[in-house]
Structures are given as structure tokens and as C-alpha cells.
């Protein structure tokens, strides 16, 4: 961690290049504390760090998370340093490989041991994603309200099916994605965490059935309507869309790092393209909830509107 308030004037171009290269190679998160944006060091050095915090409270959250799950924190920032230079397709492949590696790691194993307990929800016979076409518009509705639309394999496959339909049919002018019930999507379905036989198979599944890739392929035609909980996949996937509207009751959160994982539904690719690498790292390493107003200010969503029941 470096307190930029204690730095003085800009260094030579050669020194700056050396500092930048050093920061990019660190096997840990590099954090800048910038309580004064007009400080001498803030202008020339702040954007070289993995993330910038503006107060001691944010710094404490980042340090606590990084110390509790250092492997996940290290993997996150190393990945974000690379994905900003890659195409969407390349970024998703690398994200999946890192995610699979962490799934086999000790931090995720410890989290599962302490927290994981299968829920007792009654099976829902309806499709996990409702697909309805009305003229040139295709509507995809996440349809597991009893689980706050937790992102499951069935839901992923339903989204891929609908998005591929749009990709193969140019007469579909608009794809609208929304969620049934009180939440848009409360993140990954914990009942399915770690159920695939091995990390290699998990990567193969993500490589062949990837909703993020399917959404990105038709992004300019996709409108997403967010409300309630938008956690993990519930914001990572919408961030690919051409237009994102959130209701006033929406809230956003990236919970994966304390679990020993990274955002794995495309978030390390989609979020930096909307809010930048540093803010993505800040959200992931603090795990804090943030509001529609903050999301709008940062560009994570495009507007705030009313939720239509």
C-alpha cells in the first residue's frame, strides 16, 4: 500500500516506466491511498495501481479481504491486469481458467466447509428462463423467483438458448432480459457450487456453454432491466449489454473473493469495460454493496427507472 499524499512531484519518464512495470509484476494487489486527489503523486502514479481507495475504511476492507483470501485476491488483480488488453473472447477463456484453478484451491475448500449447505427448495417444473417473442422483440425472463433467480446451470443454458436465437435471427431487433420476483439475480446457485467432477471439466463446460459470450455477441441489441439483488452474475452478465436500466431498489455486489474465488460469470471482462480495472478491483476486494446512484455515476448502468411487476 502506498499513501500518495506522501509523494512529491512527478519522476522522470524512465523512473515512471520502471515503477509501472514493477507494479504490474507484483504477485499481490497494489493499493494506493488517495485522500487528496490534488496531491502531487496522485496525478502521475494513481492509475498504475490495481486499485485506489479514498479513505481508511475502504482500505481496511481491502486489506481484510486480501489477508483472508490472499490467493483469490492475487489471482483477481493479476487477471484484471491482463483482461484489459484482451478481446472479450480471450478474456473469458482466461477468466475461466483462473476460476477453475481457484475452485481446486484451499480457500474455496475452506469456504465450502464452513458455509455450504444445500437448500431445501421444492423443485420448480417451469423453465429457468422464459423465452417469449413478440414481433421483433425477444423477452428472456429469469424464472426462479423462489431462489431470487440464483444463477444455475439450467438458467445459464436457457440464457444461451435465447441469446443464440437472437444471434441467428437478425429479424430480432431487441432482446429484453429481466427477472421474475423480488430480485433480478442473487448470484451463483450455491447448491451447485463445486458439483462438477473436476476443474478441467468445469472449464470445458464454461467454454461450450457461456452466457457471457452469447450476450456479448448481440450486446448492441440487448436491454437489461435490473431490480432488487443484482449480485455476482446478476451484474457481471448485464454489464455486457448495450443498455442497462436499474430500479431504485436495486443493489449491486461482488461476493466472490471472500469465498476464495473471482467473479466468474464474465465480470472480469464486462465490468472493466464499463467502470475500469481499478473500480472493478475495488468492488471485488471490498465486497461492499453499492447503490443505483453510484452505479449510474460510474457508468455501470445507463439509467435508473421504475421496476415493472
Along the chain (309 residues), what's the average pLDDT of each consecutive run of 10 residues? Answer: 61 74 85 69 73 90 95 97 93 96 94 76 83 97 96 96 96 97 93 77 88 97 98 98 97 96 97 96 94 96 85
Residues 78 and 132 in one domain: no
Residue with the three cell numbers 436491454: 223
Best CA proximity match to 254, nearest among 276, 229, 274: 229
Among 56, 81, 108, residue at a domain's last position: 108
Q: Does 230 reside within a domain?
A: yes
- Alpha-carbon distance 26 to 291, whole Å? 32
Q: Does 208 reside within a domain?
A: yes
Residues 183 and 235 in one domain: yes
Residues 97 and 149 in one domain: no
Helix ranges (DSSP H) in the chain: 13-25, 40-45, 56-68, 70-83, 88-103, 106-115, 153-168, 199-208, 211-217, 233-236, 267-275, 277-286, 292-298
Residues 73 and 161 in one domain: no
Q: Does 156 reside within a domain?
A: yes
Q: Report the pLDDT value the prediction gives residue 309, as an integer from 0 to 100.
A: 55
Residues 40 and 136 in one domain: no
Residues 80 and 30 in one domain: yes
Residues 6+ apart with CB under 8 A from 96: 203, 206, 207, 210, 264
Residues 296 and 166 in one domain: yes
Handedness of CA 2, 6, 9, 15 (dihedral sign): negative
Report helix, strand or coil for 295.
Answer: helix
Residues 164 and 296 in one domain: yes
Asked if residues 252 and 288 have their Cβ atoms less than 8 Å apart, the reply is: no
**Packing angle between helix 56-68 and helix 70-83, nearest 10 degrees?**
110
Q: Does 270 reside within a domain?
A: no
Q: Does 178 reside within a domain?
A: yes
pTM of the model: 0.91
Torsion region of 39: left, alpha or beta (phi above 0 gives left; psi -120 to 50 gives alpha): beta
Q: Does 113 reside within a domain?
A: no
Residues 248 and 158 in one domain: yes
Residues 139 and 75 in one domain: no
Residues 131 and 58 in one domain: no
> Which triple of cell numbers denotes residue 233?
452474475
Among 108, 138, 165, residue at a domain's last position: 108
Taking 3-state DSSP, the helix, strand and coil percentages for the chain, each rounded to the nearest 5, stand at 50, 15, 35
Q: How many structural domains compose the chain? A: 2
Residues 179 and 297 in one domain: yes
Residue 119 DSSP symbol: -
What is the residue range of 18's domain? 2-108
Q: Does 269 reside within a domain?
A: no
Q: Report the pLDDT value the prediction gives residue 14, as an integer from 0 to 100.
A: 76
Q: Does 272 reside within a domain?
A: no
Q: Report the pLDDT value the prediction gives residue 90, as an integer from 0 to 100.
A: 96
Residues 6+ apart with CB under 8 A from 280: 80, 267, 268, 271, 272
Q: What is the CATH number of the domain that holds 257?
A: 3.90.226.10
Among 67, 82, 108, residue at a domain's last position: 108
Amino acid at each position: 500500500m502506498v499513501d500518495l499524499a506522501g509523494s512529491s512531484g512527478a519522476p522522470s519518464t524512465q523512473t515512471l516506466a520502471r515503477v509501472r512495470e514493477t507494479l504490474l509484476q507484483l504477485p499481490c494487489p497494489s493499493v494506493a491511498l488517495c485522500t487528496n486527489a490534488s496531491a502531487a503523486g496522485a496525478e502521475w502514479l494513481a492509475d498504475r495501481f490495481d486499485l485506489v481507495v479514498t479513505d481508511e475504511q475502504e482500505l481496511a476492507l481491502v486489506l481484510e479481504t486480501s489477508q483472508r483470501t490472499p490467493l483469490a485476491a492475487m489471482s483477481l488483480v493479476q487477471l484484471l491486469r491482463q483482461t484489459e488488453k484482451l478481446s472479450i473472447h480471450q478474456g473469458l477463456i482466461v477468466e475461466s481458467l483462473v476460476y477453475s484453478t481457484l475452485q481446486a484451491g484451499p480457500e474455496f475448500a475452506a469456504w465450502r466447509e464452513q458455509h455450504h449447505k444445500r437448500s431445501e427448495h421444492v423443485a420448480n417444473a417451469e423453465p429457468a428462463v422464459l423465452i417469449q417473442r413478440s414481433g421483433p422483440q425477444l423477452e428472456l425472463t429469469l424464472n426462479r423467483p423462489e431462489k431470487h433467480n440464483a444463477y444455475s446451470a439450467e438458467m445459464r443454458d436457457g440464457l444461451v438458448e435465447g441469446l443464440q436465437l437472437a444471434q441467428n435471427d437478425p429479424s430480432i431487433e431487441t432482446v429484453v432480459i429481466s427477472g421474475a420476483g423480488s430480485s433480478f439475480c442473487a448470484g451463483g446457485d450455491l447448491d451447485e457450487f463445486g458439483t462438477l467432477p473436476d476443474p478441467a471439466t468445469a472449464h470445458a463446460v464454461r467454454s461450450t456453454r457461456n452466457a457471457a459470450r452469447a450476450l456479448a455477441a448481440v450486446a448492441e441489441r440487448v436491454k437489461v432491466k435490473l431490480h432488487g439483488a443484482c449480485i455476482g452474475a446478476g451484474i457481471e452478465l448485464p454489464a455486457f449489454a448495450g443498455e442497462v436500466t436499474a430500479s431504485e431498489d436495486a443493489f449491486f455486489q461482488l461476493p466472490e473473493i471472500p469465498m476464495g474465488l473471482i467473479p466468474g460469470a464474465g465480470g472480469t471482462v464486462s465490468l472493466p469495460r464499463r467502470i475500469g480495472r481499478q473500480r472493478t478491483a475495488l468492488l471485488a476486494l471490498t465486497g461492499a454493496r453499492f447503490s443505483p446512484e453510484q452505479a449510474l455515476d460510474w457508468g455501470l448502468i445507463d439509467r435508473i427507472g421504475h421496476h415493472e411487476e
